[in-house]
């Protein structure tokens, strides 16, 4: 029996006819929502093979009820991404050994449809006990095989306890979920709220204008999201929202320019930045203040160990830049890719590069898979992007390296910005903040910024737009 599902069901039973889930224009009472969970649970238990269940539903109360019911029934519950092509969906269902998959009927989107498969749930799940409930989320799927991250229920409960000092969730709170359930943060936030006996507000998709209006009515709101979503809300809100208590940001670094924009529209909200990933859950956190060290992502949470691995193994200086490695009770158990489960190592790296400050805070400067060489020098795109985002009028920024026969690569910047900026003005402003050799050689404008399911910048699509000459170059 899932501890998480059991506690959520007890909380719902105690709240009875109180409104507990808000979705678009719907308001659902605790009693009705509990009934829905129990009905799904009975139906799932009626199938002989139900150890691994895959859910392929749009974000909704129905999807949330299905997920909680599946936690009660299945050994492993996997949440898929509806944006994947059909071939990726089918291969993932087969890869994880799903016995059942829950999707939407083409003619009636609100009614789930259960498909039966001949799945064989992978027999190895790292350090999980045989009775431990598990959840699998996915980190990709737009190209190649989606990579499944297997998390134990124990790691989720440990994460609930770890974030409470910052989140401060209570039964009086209303958890606002900005993202899709196909991204681990979205389903985590919804379950986290119900587990804490709080109310939950969901949206079918991220629409900044609609959400900005609806959350004005939310009392004691605590919002889970990523930086791009918070900035979009702040830019869309017609006037300051004073009812939001807390904004919990993760998934990417919060640039200082974004913080200023957010504070203007959410003056009473405490802004908390978490550093974490699907594999690691939370690693560090900080309360965002007025004066910030741009690279800091806060102090590692209790019980979490962080070391910096250097290319020069003799270098033991923690303040020197290197690969960030983490050992944590919150971490995942391993990956499922192409029918194979690979247990996680004791010390985990997801490719982030950083250092430990003298005050004990973790500082991130970029990702190893985004770095490239320019005439023998390492270029860190994130540093250039941060400088671009500090310029008034720049909403989004991305930096990529394109092959160059003379210099190894040339630096290309793509921005979403107002019409007042030119290449000359951008270069002039950048010279004040970054080294001259890191100033982009070309600047392109993208009016419709591509994002992944998690709300992050989709660098692959931006790269394709540049290579296909789909973007206008700033003169």
Q: What integer is the mean pLDDT of 318-323?
A: 80
- Convert the pLDDT of each residue in 415-456 to its tens digit: 998 888 899 999 999 998 898 899 999 999 999 999 887 778
- Convert the pLDDT of each residue in 363-380 to its tens digit: 998 888 888 888 778 888
Mean pLDDT for the chain overall? 87
- Convert the pLDDT of each residue in 33-89 to its tens digit: 999 999 999 999 999 888 899 999 999 999 999 999 999 999 999 999 888 888 888
Residue 367 confidence (pLDDT): 86
Has residue 145 got a pLDDT over 70?
no
HSE toward the beta carbon, residue 32, CA cutoff 13 A: 12
pTM for this prediction: 0.84
Query: What are the b/e assignments for 330-355, b being 16+ CB within 10 Å?
Result: bbbbbbbbeeebeebeeebbbebbbb
């Amino acid at each position: 029996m899932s501890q998480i599902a059991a506690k959520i069901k007890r909380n719902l039973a105690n709240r009875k006819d109180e409104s507990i889930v808000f979705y678009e224009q719907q308001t659902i009472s605790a009693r009705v929502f509990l009934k829905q969970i129990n009905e799904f649970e009975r139906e799932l238990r009626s199938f002989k093979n139900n150890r691994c269940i895959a859910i392929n539903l749009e974000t909704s109360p129905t999807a949330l009820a299905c997920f909680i019911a599946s936690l009660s029934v299945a050994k492993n519950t996997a949440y898929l991404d509806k944006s994947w092509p059909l071939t990726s969906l089918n291969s993932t269902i087969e890869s994880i050994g799903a016995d059942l998959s829950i999707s939407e009927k083409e003619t009636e989107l609100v009614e789930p449809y259960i498909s039966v498969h001949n799945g064989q749930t992978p027999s190895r799940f790292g350090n999980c006990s045989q009775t431990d409930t598990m959840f699998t989320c996915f980190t990709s799927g737009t190209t190649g095989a989606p990579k499944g991250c297997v998390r134990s229920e124990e790691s989720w409960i440990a994460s609930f306890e770890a974030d409470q000092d910052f989140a401060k969730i209570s039964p009086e709170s209303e958890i606002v979920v900005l993202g899709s359930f196909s991204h681990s943060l979205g389903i985590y936030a919804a379950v986290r709220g119900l587990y804490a006996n709080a109310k939950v507000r969901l949206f079918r998709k991220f629409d900044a204008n609609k959400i900005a209006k609806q959350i004005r009515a939310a009392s004691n709101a605590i919002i889970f999201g990523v930086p791009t979503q918070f900035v979009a809300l702040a830019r869309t809100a017609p006037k300051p929202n004073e009812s939001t208590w807390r904004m919990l940001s993760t998934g990417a670094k919060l640039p200082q320019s974004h913080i200023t924009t957010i504070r203007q529209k959410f003056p009473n909200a405490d802004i908390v930045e978490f550093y974490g990933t699907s594999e690691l859950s939370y690693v560090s956190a900080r309360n965002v203040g007025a004066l910030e060290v741009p690279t800091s992502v806060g102090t590692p949470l209790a019980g979490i160990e962080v070391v910096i691995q250097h290319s020069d193994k003799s270098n033991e200086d923690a303040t020197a830049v290197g690969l960030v490695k983490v050992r944590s009770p919150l971490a995942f158990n391993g990956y499922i890719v192409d029918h194979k489960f690979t247990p996680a190592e004791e010390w985990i790296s997801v490719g982030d590069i950083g250092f430990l400050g003298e005050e004990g805070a973790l500082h991130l400067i970029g990702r190893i898979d985004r770095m490239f060489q320019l005439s023998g020098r390492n270029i860190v795109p994130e540093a250039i992007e941060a400088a671009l985002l500090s310029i008034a009028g720049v909403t989004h920024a991305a930096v990529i390296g394109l092959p160059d026969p003379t210099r190894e690569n040339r630096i290309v910047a793509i921005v979403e910005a107002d019409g007042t900026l030119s290449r000359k003005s951008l270069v002039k402003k950048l010279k004040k903040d970054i080294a001259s050799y890191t100033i982009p050689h070309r600047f392109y404008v993208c009016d419709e910024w591509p994002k992944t399911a998690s709300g992050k910048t989709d660098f692959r699509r931006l790269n394709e737009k540049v290579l296909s000459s789909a973007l206008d170059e700033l003169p």
